[in-house]
Amino acid sequence: MDGDGEEEGGKKKLSGKTLVLFIVLPLLLVVGGVGGAFMMGVFGGGEEEEQAEMGADGKKVVDPSKVVFYELPELIINLRSKEERASFVKFRVTLELHDATALPKIEPLMPRIMDNFQVYLRELRPSDLDGSAGLFRLKEEILRRINMDVRPYEVADVLFTEMIIQ
């Protein structure tokens, strides 16, 4: 007799440890791997739909007839500054939505969005808005904050239609 099994009428019986180690554990690994691969989309499914919506340049193709623009009111905000002279930024923003049905759902949330603008922009310094990199960071941060406010809907882009920094 050895520790892994017992002899019973010429047949060897597997112990519990051996059964778990050589049968159950590999079976769980295979099932888990297949399940994970399925969830990640390895087996197809939604991949064709995603690729159909992507253009040759890798950007999402949008039906122009479904795009909606929503213009926010003009904002004049006092920027944070260490100097005696105050700095201001005046700008107009237009939101781009790829789903026209989301606009009636987003409009009631505009007071929250405008408040979020005010709070964020008042903490900026004039140097934070220098150059195209500064404006890009501002645009990305505003878009991120708006999308947090309007979830589960999505604003596709933030477009600056006017910006003056004084």
Q: How far apart are CA 150 and CA 104, in angstroms?
A: 11
Q: Are the C-beta atoms of 166 and 87 separated by less than 8 Å?
A: yes
pLDDT of residue 52: 47
Q: Is the pTM of this model over 0.75?
A: no
Quick one: 154 and 85 in the same domain? yes
Quick one: 149 and 97 in the same domain? yes
φ, ψ (nearest 5 deg) of residue 107: -55, -40
Q: What CATH code is carried by the domain that includes residue 138?
A: 3.30.479.30
Quick one: 73 and 135 in the same domain? yes
Each residue's pLDDT expressed in tens, for the chain with a length of 166 residues: 555 555 555 566 767 777 677 787 788 888 888 887 777 767 665 544 444 466 555 666 666 777 888 898 888 888 877 777 778 888 898 989 888 888 888 889 889 888 888 888 888 888 888 888 888 888 899 899 989 988 888 888 998 888 888 7
For the chain, where are the E strands, in sequence order? 5-8, 11-14, 68-71, 75-79, 87-97, 157-165
Q: How far apart are CA 98 and CA 120, in angstroms?
A: 25
Q: Total domain count for the chain?
A: 2
> What is the extent of the structural domain holding 142?
64-165
